[in-house]
Amino acid sequence: MLEAQGPSPECERRSQRPSEANYTGQMLEVWPGLYLGGAAAVSEPDQLRAAGISAVLTVDSEEPSFKAGAEDEDLWSFFVPALDKPETDLLSHLDRCVAFINRAHDDCRAVLVHCHAGVSRSVAIVTAFLMKTDLLTFEEAYGELQNIKPEAKMNEGFEWQLKLYQAMGNEVDTSSAIYKQYRLQKVTEKYPELQNLPQELFAVDPTTISQGLKDQVLYKCRKCRRSLFRSSSILDHNEGNGPVAFVHKRMTPPFVYHLSCTSYFIEPVQWMESTLLGVMDGQLLCPKCGAKLGSFNWCGEQCSCGRWITPAFQIHKNRVDEMKMLPVLGSQTRTI
């Protein structure tokens, strides 16, 4: 078994950075017991052994093939398939990567995080670890990492994803509006023809379930009272700049600007599936009575407040009613 040279003889984890860059072959120690490197860093088991590394996290297009002898040394490994492209989904893997590093440190193992060149994908993973472990902002963690390794430069897509990670409290919350909006954008990139969309993209139709509704607001068609979506499906957004955002439209007076949101932007619901497949934009109609509820556009639409939402599934507030479940009686009351 490799002798893990952790943060200290007692395997205590410290938050301070190495005072000087500690290079070991193709690897650089960027945090006590945490190394950053490229593909060459795992080419020879002797290099890992010399640094006391017994855990390797690979984020690359192909899983590394460790040379004979590495497995015999009880080497932990974790592989994340990812290309160094802005559209690559790295956000969904961050929690598992950070957890792997933490488990290795708890077992007194030094960890190597590497990709092909050691400047983008692996840098993004280590930045996420520093953000969560040392409670740093993205700018702080990335800046400190670049001070230690000046050539570190993740692509703009990973920067955006780490900022979303920060906005979620350095934890991937799949139920949050931030993650749902992110997932929708990724689906648009992955399925440009908008066919065979994954079922997990769609929120459950509220007419098919009753459990869990007592703590949420239910939205129904104002015309026929058909249940359409729950409050958990609403994707909140920061209010836009109001009239300033519509100057490009060169509207001729008289016209009315709305300073507040007149629509709900929601995640797609199961009843929308047949309407959305293979179509870039169109109307959203009530699946029961056919009343117009709003519209959708995979390329995005502008809210009445001025904020641009991409992709957009827009339901006009004046076409639906809010129905709140009373916790005691279990009945519904309309709120106006």
Strands 110-114 and 53-60: parallel
Q: 65 is written with which tokens?
A: 């093939």
**Do 47 and 26 touch, CB atoms closer than 8 A?**
yes
The set of long-range contacts for 103-106, using a CB threshold of 8 Å and a minimum separation of 24, is 104/54, 104/55, 104/76, 105/6, 105/7, 105/11, 105/13, 105/33, 105/34
Six-digit token string for 331: 């009945």
Q: From the CB of residue 58, how many other CB atoms can be counted at a distance below 10 Å? A: 23
- Is the distance from CB of 123 to CB of 152 less than 8 angstroms? yes
Q: What is the DSSP letter of 4?
A: -
Helical H segments across the chain, by residue range:
45-51, 94-106, 121-134, 138-148, 156-167, 177-190, 273-276
Catalytic residues, which ones?
115
| Residue 23: strand, helix, or coil | strand
Strands (E), 192-261: 217-221, 227-230
Q: Among all chains, which residue has been given the structure tokens 């009880």? A: 74
Give the C-alpha separation, 233 to 202, whole Å.
Answer: 10
Give the integer Cα–Cα distance in Å for 274 and 2. 56
Rounded Cα gap, residues 260 and 293, in angstroms: 19
Q: What is the number of alpha carbons within 13 Å of residue 178 lying toward its C-beta?
A: 17
Amino acid (one-letter) located at 283: Q
